[in-house]
Structures are given as C-alpha cells and as structure tokens.
Amino acid sequence: MILFENVCKTYLIGGEEVRALDHANLHIQKGEFVSIIGPSGSGKSTLMNIMGCLDIPDSGSYLLDGRSVGSLSEKELTGIRSRKIGFVFQDFNLISKMTAEENVGLPLVYQGFKQAAIKRYAAEALEHVNLTSRKTHRPAQLSGGQQQRVAIARALVTKPILFLADEPTGNLDSKTGSEIMDLFHQLHEQGNTIVLITHDQSVAMQAKRRITISDGRVEEDSL
C-alpha cells in the first residue's frame, strides 16, 4: 500500500540546507500496524507529511495504493487526503465551537454529503469509539482522552484506507494513552492499516512492526 523509494526532502532553514529525508526506503503492506519512531529532528514529521500527501518529495518516489503521489495535482492530493487517509494528531485539532458530532461529520461536509447522511455516519463513528453519550458536547466539555476518541471517530467517518496517527498519546496520561492504544489495536484487528508516528519507545513497541528513522534515514525495519 505504501512504497517509498529513495525519497529525499530538503529544506532551507536560516540559509542552510537541511536534508529532512535522505534516500528513505520503506514498504508497508495493506492491513499492517506499523510504528515509525525517532527523536525530534529525525525526519519522522517530514516522512508523515509526505505519507499523508501534505507534502511531496524533492526526488525519489512515493506510491500510495499503487498511485505515484509526486505526479498528482493539488486537487488530486486534496481528494486523497479527504477520502483515503484518516489523520489523528497529538493536539486533537477539534473545532472548539462544534459539538463532537459536528466535528466528526466535518470531513463529510467537505465531501458534499447531505445532512441526514452526515448525522448517520457521524453517529456510527462515535458509537465505534464509545462516545455516543457525548455527541452534543463541545471539546472543552470533554477530557483529553474523549477528545482523542472524537478525533479518531472523525478519522473513521470517511472509511479511509490508511490511518496516520502523529503522537496520538503525546498529550495524555499513561492510563488514557493505554486506552487510546487499545482502540488502535481494535481498528487493526478489523483489518485497518495503521501507521503511528512517535518518539515514545513503549508506544512504538505495541505495533506489529517498527521502523526507526534518524537524520532522515530509515535505519531499521524490524519485526
């Protein structure tokens, strides 16, 4: 499903070139649960941005579900992001004035779904993460763990081919973080492909496969 071949990405920072990805190679099969681990500045955020079609490589190739991302237009990239990738972020990225139900349904609004369908699919996604009773609550009325569950439901609602989670337990206490990881395990058991970006070794170890990145290079790919 995911294939990186000699992917390079360089940024100009303070007049100096920084190679965020240096001939990165990796292959992730459909249905895998993979963690990508590395310290701050290792290149994992750049890897995630390219994997999530938020950025494109300077050189090399990235194939997602058999399509070369580098050759796609911005409109096509936007379509892939909204339909094929479910994003889960460390900071939840919920809209404060919207209820949980409205936050979950937002991707479907952008896709032009009718209101009745949006409410139905949002309700199904919230039920999946055991938050039906909180559907009318706004983010400020929810705990951190509940907010992350809403974020996961929002990722679920479009039925993506890939869940891309960036430090999903980073703002949570250990008990709540463990509950969120249990939810990712459930999603994986249901056949979903999950890529989890983290700097936490204990979180990374829960994946079925771990990829280590350092100084822009994929240094280890182990079972």
Fold of 31-57+77-222: Rossmann fold (3.40.50)
CA distances 20 to 5, 17, 160, Å, are 15, 9, 27
| pLDDT of 220 higher than 70 | no
State the pLDDT at residue 14. 85
| pLDDT of 149 higher than 70 | yes
Half-sphere exposure of 75 (CA within 13 A, CB side): 0
Mean pLDDT for the stretch of residues 89-100 = 96
State the pLDDT at residue 16. 87
Mean pLDDT for the stretch of residues 69-76 = 88
Higher pLDDT, 17 or 106: 106
Mean pLDDT for the stretch of residues 72-93 = 93
Identify the band that residue 145 occupies on the pLDDT scale cut at 50, 70 and 90.
very high
pTM: 0.92
State the pLDDT at residue 222. 52
State the pLDDT at residue 223. 47
CB atoms within 10 A of CB 41: 12
Summarize pLDDT for 21-52 with one digit per residue, the tens.
999 999 999 999 999 999 888 899 899 999 99
State the pLDDT at residue 210. 93
Burial class (CB in 10 A: 0-12, 13-18, 19+), 131: buried
